[in-house]
Amino acid sequence: MGYTPMIQQYLKIKAEYQDCFLFFRLGDFYELFFEDAQRAARELEITLTSRDGGSKDRIPMCGVPYHSAENYIKTLVERGYKVAICEQVEDPKTAKGVVKREVIQLITPGTVMEGTMLQDTENNYLASIHYVENDYFAFAYTDMSTGETSVMRITRGWNGVLSEIYNRPIKEVVVESGFNEAYIKELQDKMKITVSLVDASKLSTVPNSFLEEIEDKALRHTCMILYDYIHTTQKRTIEHLKNAQYIELNEYMLLDMFSKRNLEITSSFMRKEKYGSLLWVLDRTVTAMGARKLKKWLERPLLSKESIESRLEKTEGFYEDFMQRQEIREALQSIYDLERLTGRVAFGNVNARDLIQLKNSLQKIPIIKQLLMQFSKKEIQELSKQINPLPELLDLLERSIMDDPPVSITEGNIIKSGYNKELDTYRDASTNGKKWIANLEQKEREATNIRSLKIGFNKVFGYYIEITKANLHLVPEGRYERKQTLTNAERFITEELKEKETIILEAENNMIDLEYQLFLDIREQTKRFIPYVQNLASIISEIDVLQSFATVSEENDYVRPTFSNNDTLYLEESRHPVIEKVMDSQEFVPNTIEMDNKQPILLITGPNMSGKSTYMRQLALTVLMGQIGCFVPAKKAKLSIVDQIFTRIGAADDLVSGQSTFMVEMLEANNAISHATKNSLILFDELGRGTSTYDGMALAQAIIEHIHEHIGCKTIFSTHYHELTSLEKTLSRLKNIHVRAEKINGKVVFLHQVREGAADESYGIHVAELAGLPEDLIQRASIILERLENGSSKNDPPTETKADPKSVEQVDAEQLTFFVDNKENLPSSNQKESEIIKTISNLDILEMTPMQALNCLYELNKQAKKKG
């Protein structure tokens, strides 16, 4: 037995959308069948049932109500799934056989348009990747909800692509069939991104306007992939998509995924949330558009000194005129999300309330324009001149849409009286007809003397006169025509009542249909203004970010930085912008940071918890803040423009890829030294600690030497290898600094003050004591430390009362078994020291390079074998 025609129809449609949940419309429900039903029941926690589909076995089935489907779709999309919406496209009354159904839209993580599925302050990007050759990829991304599209060349290989994806809120990536399987797996498993495939040989035609600014063939191709996927999945107009904009990555500071994570720029490292990040500190924006633009600026700091100074001038303008800034903030609170409103207009899912939001926003624009002209800075006044209040669009919306319309656009009460004469006629007929009925009811009561007489209405019988049976004897003979008999009453009609009913009902039906058509026409007229509204949204969001910078700078006592032409960096009483905000009662200890061409490398030592990492991070965050156009947390700031920031701060095992802390350290270090230029900033925190002491020390020294000799960029290198501080003697452009700590009454006190020179000790045991380790353990560690510092390498007894402790000579002999093969060859306590011991004792390990140490060890090994 085969499947029923309806199930056959389902299977045929499902075959074209195998990677989607198919929401199959049946009446008032979306139904899912077979494997879709089983998976959806688990994901959505709804009941799994079954139905007869014509086959031997019953078919798994589940469903969700049509009116509440949006919430279920949202859940699936947020989890990375795609949903195909299959609707009836034929009137069931005229259908011959099974009602025709088609997929009218594909909702995917990267193509979401519904407001409830989007975060107001976050973009929602769909990206496309096209491999060109060698390490060159063409990369494009678009936000369907706002219409912005960007395209760029990535020439640092696949890791460069991953960094770009990590730095953007990209939810879905589109690639061509045949794209590298390992790359796809990494996107899905490591980056947790939905990947969709397209057939590059069947790309749809792309409007010339979309690509008019892109000449490069590979970049045009990846844009075509992106456009084709949107066009194919959405099955409707996407004219709100702006022209693809080429981004030259060399014009912006590069922040790779490691730096963005380690510096906690947009989210905290541990909690993965906004709180505790630089974005959290700087975000005093008022609009959703402004919040999104602030995040974009943070992710792409400027490199052009002219552009940076231009932003700083505007920030200073908002900073200086406090009263006007406050009025601007108040006005901005009435501005809705213009970017996403235009997207909804173009997409065809805008309702009357959305257009009222657009109208209310436009009403505030002239006020903002006027306020900007009151600022003293000409740069702020120039912003005012760029604003187009769009009076024609405002006039259209004010004349047409009621102030408090319903959500539905098919039930009437949307269009204002006076906008359309035909609609006014229908309304007049409906209103006057109802008045006539009310008057008729009063007249009939007086004529029959039946006070309970009433005129009612229902959809089956229309208007009727209802009289209770107790009063039927009062009805004059032949006055009414009997229509319906009830238990306690009779219903009647008259010819005159039926005529008015026809007029009223026709007017109401025509009125609703006409209002719907008028609304669609208003929406089409509004579409003409989309580019202008998008431009207005861009200016308003820029104003919002700049006032946010000014507000934050005033509240936190930031200072405007200057930019040097000679690579000098000087921060007087620099502070960490985030830590000082989260410290409640304690006062943040500021420190001065100074670097230049003569000594661009700072080697910082000091105890754990003393503030080395904070010192390093605050430098990077200050540089970044300055290059996005914000004031910085310092008493005085002179910066040099940094093209890239590389960091290695904190331990982070990459368990997904099976990489240890040390491997991650080496990968991040290699990324830095491979791509850094003279204008970069490198921050390495305790590099090399993930392996043995000598391995780590050797690598750390080699990396410092490489940066010193081959790169020469500004670098802060923190370490617990105190032996490295001797590098100051041999590397002319390296300077030692340390974080102060003092012992007071046997307890260590961290002063968080950075001073020149190397630290005298690490205070590791004191930190362990602060962490609450057992007292006997701390005492034992102190004893071992003292003996190690005195030059002893023997295995001390665990307690002072151990029986028959070994002599120093015996222990020394045991230690030397690492260098010789036979104890019989060891010298006795009465013999002269061997040549090997003399050689070892004469070594100055602190002055040796790793290579010298290795050569020395090799010679000792040869001597030991000869003695054996």
Alpha-carbon torsion angle 690, 692, 697, 703, nearest 10: -50
Q: What is the pLDDT of residue 830?
A: 37
What tokens were used for 506?
């026709």
With contact defined as beta carbons under 8 Å apart, do 24 and 31 qualify? yes
Name the nearest CA neighbour of 509 among 427, 419, 437, 432.
427
For 200-258, the three-class secondary structure string (H helix, E strand, C coil) is HHHCCCCCHHHHCCCCCHHHHHHHHHHHHHHHHHHCCCCCCCCCCEECCHHHECEECHH
Q: Any bridge partners for residue 651, and if so which?
A: none
CATH superfamily of 119-251: MutS, connector domain (3.30.420.110)
CATH superfamily of 5-107: DNA repair protein MutS, domain I (3.40.1170.10)
With contact defined as beta carbons under 8 Å apart, do 591 and 276 qualify? no
State residue 228 phi and psi, 5-degree precision: -60, -40
**Separation between Cα atoms, residue 52 and residue 163, nearest integer Å:** 51
Task: With H, G, I as helix, E, B as strand and everything else as coil, classify residue 360.
Answer: helix
Helix (H) or strand (E) run with residue 136 in it: strand 136-143
Q: What residue ranges of the chain have pLDDT lower than 50?
A: 651-658, 793-833
DSSP-derived pairing of the beta strands 636-639 and 734-744: unpaired
**pLDDT tens digits for range 380-400:** 999 999 999 999 999 999 999
Question: Measured between alpha carbons, how far apart are the two ends of the chain, in Å?
Answer: 89
Q: Can you name the CATH fold of 421-523?
A: MutS, DNA mismatch repair protein; Chain A, domain 3 (1.10.1420)
Domain positions in the chain: 5-107, 119-251, 283-386+535-555, 421-523, 562-760, 806-867
What tokens were used for 417?
């009286």
**Separation between Cα atoms, residue 535 and residue 338, nearest integer Å:** 10
Q: What is the pLDDT of residue 655?
A: 35
Please give the class, per CATH, of domain 283-386+535-555.
mainly alpha
What tokens were used for 285?
């924006």
Beginning with the edge strand found earlier in the chain, give each strand of the sheet holding 59-65 in spatial order.
Answer: 49-51, 59-65, 29-33, 21-26, 83-88, 101-107
DSSP state of 405: -
**Separation between Cα atoms, residue 705 and residue 734, nearest integer Å:** 10
Task: With H, G, I as helix, E, B as strand and everything else as coil, classify residue 737.
Answer: strand
**Separation between Cα atoms, residue 683 and residue 595, nearest integer Å:** 13
**Separation between Cα atoms, residue 192 and residue 424, nearest integer Å:** 55
User: Going by C-beta distance under 8 Å and a sequence separation of 6 or more, which residues neighbour residue 217?
Assistant: none
Token look-up 């013999």 returns: 831
Q: What is the pLDDT of residue 514?
A: 92
Q: Is 611 annotated as a binding residue?
A: yes
Q: Is 772 annotated as a binding residue?
A: no
Strands (E), 326-376: none
What tokens were used for 119?
């975060």
Question: Which one of 3.90.1150.10, 3.20.20.70, 3.20.20.210, 3.40.50.300 gives the CATH number of domain 562-760?
Answer: 3.40.50.300
**Separation between Cα atoms, residue 599 and residue 568, nearest integer Å:** 10
- Give the residue ranges of DSSP H helices in 22-156: 34-44, 69-78
779-812 core/surface letters (b: 16 or more CB in 10 A; e: else): eeeeeeeeeeeeeeeeebeeeeeeeeeeeeeebb
Residue 548 CB-density burial (10 A; 0-12 exposed, 13-18 middle, 19+ buried):
buried
Same fold, 119-251 and 421-523: no
Q: Is 145 annotated as a binding residue?
A: no
**Triad 660, 661, 667: Cα angle to 5°:** 90
Q: Is 610 annotated as a binding residue?
A: yes
**Separation between Cα atoms, residue 763 and residue 722, nearest integer Å:** 12
With contact defined as beta carbons under 8 Å apart, do 377 and 317 qualify? yes
837-868 core/surface letters (b: 16 or more CB in 10 A; e: else): eeeeeeeeeeeeeeeeeeeeeeebeeebeeee
**Separation between Cα atoms, residue 301 and residue 252, nearest integer Å:** 6
Q: Any bridge partners for residue 24, and if so which?
A: 31, 86
